[in-house]
Amino acid sequence: MEQDIEIFINNHKYNVKSDQTIMQAADSIGIYIPRLCYHNQTSSHSACRICIVQIEGMKQYVTSCTYKVQEGLKIHTNTKEIREMRKILLDLILSKGHDNCNICDKNGNCDLQELSKYIGLKDSHFFVKNKEHIDSTNAITKDFSKCILCERCSNMCNNIQNVYAISYAGRGFNTKIVPGFSESLKQSSCVSCGQCINVCPTAALTEKNNIQEVLEKLENKNLIKVVQIAPAVRAAIAEMFGFNPGEKIIEKELVTILKQIGFDYVFDTQFSADLTIMEEGSEFLDRLKKNEKLPLITSCSSGWINYIEKFYPNLLNNLSTSKSPMSMLGTLIKTYFAEKNNFSLDNIFSVAIMPCTAKKDEIKRKELLVNGKQMVDFVLTTRELGWLIKSMGIDITKAKVQEFDSPLGESSGAATIFGVSGGVMEAALRTAYELYTQKELDVLDFMEVRGYQGIKEATINMKDKEIKVAVAHGLKNANILMDRIQKNPSLYHFVEIMACPGGCIAGGGQPFVKNKEITTDIIKLRASLLYSLDSNNKNRKSHENEAIKFLYKDFLEKPLSHMSHKLLHTFYTKKEKEC
């Protein structure tokens, strides 16, 4: 049972909670103990040993990230001996890595770099460099020369995401963190969620960088350059330029910025989020009427799709057949938009700015080809967009507000909250409720599906129906929810899954938080920006988006029409060890 106990740290007496580690206790009273492998989202294995402290009466140092406090402990965190030992430990860690800091993707945002400054290590004495070796998928790059074996990535992959794609292999200087049987990432169970990148303290793990390919295409005067922006990007891009999480939203300024970079048309993925609701909501009502393939499970999250194909293929029929908003808009750009403007499909260069590394995977899917053509040419993450803006020398604070281009730029508030866990469900319920009951909702905020619990459940009364819904974020929670559904398929009618903890706002391609971990508080701050955009939008329902209504009248006819099925829907198949 948790209670207050008395301990001594650096000869001062403190009252702390009995269930804390020494590190947690020290943090709670404002005493910082250096750490590297520790991360608040993953379990501690004391791999780096940088957080060692001395306890009076004990001969050996203990790791503060794992050692629990006890009544009367006398702890020393910063003696001369400890400082010297930390320098030796850090020197050994540095010996395994690459020293190209000036051109490294994490220069200025590297935990190892910051720790070296803090500890005061100026010279390296060991030269046992890892062999340079790169392993890469469509979405993620692993640079073994920068891996310091801290275990953060494997802890995230195995304990938080339940994917088990990477773990320790080998001994001594041959130790590596790799997929099972030393296979490549492509051959592993990796789902490209990118959460390993978010916790990596160095640049051993990064997104597959596509900036140079995009820049080369932007130089081609014969191409029509088109870009789309996901909801969660606007909630975090300012962090790339020194703003704190939740401090500033950059939305329509991005239209100006992207045109300065060289794009001809800037569309909003939120437009196709509204379109997704029309298709997915109609699909749900159709299944509800027929009482088949329930629960309907959302299909927007690319990492989640990779996961269900590998781990729960028996539930693939429950997935919505609706493409993700990115893929829907990518398809419309190279069909509807091209046709209306007499553009050749081959002359359109289409880029998507996403908070997600798994979207780089998604665009390569054969199931999403239209007439044998790839609909989105490249995906850049929010981080890549930030680096691109900086490389162009653009001052974001001077960018003017400019409307998204028509006809694929108008959106409702419901589309904005797609970037938050529970947002797709809430947007769908706003539309499904009104289409089913033919009545307007008195309150549009479905607070039952908001929040940051791993799994949320609710019952929504829709006229003569009680609709049972569930929302999960993070693949460990998805695992729990899918096991429930396998045992009792009639438990829910509608389920939303997001691969990343917190949803897209904490996606694998979002900005690194300098000297901080992506905590629930940071997720809440980013989410608050999207919720504010929703509440301030004159239209908060997808089915009342006039641009969507016009698209159906002019091109698609109606939700679930033959044309809609041809362009906006897809299928999924069981995947063996490849993503």
Same domain? 550 vs 408: yes
Same domain? 502 vs 559: yes
Residue 86 lies in a domain: no
Same domain? 310 vs 418: yes
| Phi then psi dihedrals of residue 332, to 5 deg | -65, -35
CATH number for the domain harbouring residue 152: 3.30.70.20
pLDDT tens digits, residue range 232-254? 999 999 999 989 999 999 999 99
Residue 541 lies in a domain: yes
Same domain? 336 vs 286: yes
Residue 149 lies in a domain: yes
Residue 193 lies in a domain: yes
Same domain? 345 vs 465: yes
Smallest CA-to-CA distance from 358 within 474, 472, 508, 232 is with 508
**Distance separating alpha carbons of residues 201 and 396, to the nearest angstrom:** 28
**Tell me, what's the pLDDT at 140?**
93
User: Domain limits at 40?
Assistant: 4-78
Same domain? 196 vs 241: no
Query: In this structure, what DSSP letter does residue 45 have?
Result: -
More confident residue, 79 or 349: 349
Same domain? 355 vs 444: yes
CATH number for the domain harbouring residue 250: 3.40.950.10
Same domain? 197 vs 251: no
Q: pLDDT confidence of 579, banded at 50, 70, 90? A: very low
Percentage of residues in the chain having pLDDT higher than 70: 93
Residue 94 lies in a domain: no
Select from 173, 192, 207 the last residue of a domain. 207
Question: Which residues are catalytically annotated?
Answer: 280, 283, 300, 320, 359, 362, 367, 504
Same domain? 473 vs 524: yes
Same domain? 245 vs 195: no
Same domain? 216 vs 185: no
Instruction: For residue 226, count other CB atoms closer than 10 A to its CB.
Output: 26
Average pLDDT rounded to a whole number, residues 214-218: 93
Ranges 54-63, 170-179, 270-279, 366-375: which has the least confidence: 170-179
Asked if 407 contacts 438 with a C-beta cutoff of 8 angstroms, the reply is: no
DSSP string, 288-303: HHHT-S-SEE----HH
How many folded domains does the chain comprise? 3
**Tell me, what's the pLDDT at 538?**
93
Residue 300 lies in a domain: yes
What is the residue whose two structure tokens read 């019952």?
Answer: 459
**Distance separating alpha carbons of residues 296 and 309, to the nearest angstrom:** 15
Whether the predicted pLDDT of 462 surpasses 80:
yes
What pTM was computed for the model? 0.86
Same domain? 173 vs 26: no
Average pLDDT rounded to a whole number, residues 72-88: 88
Residue 578 lies in a domain: no
CATH number for the domain harbouring residue 55: 3.10.20.740
Select from 207, 228, 251 the last residue of a domain. 207
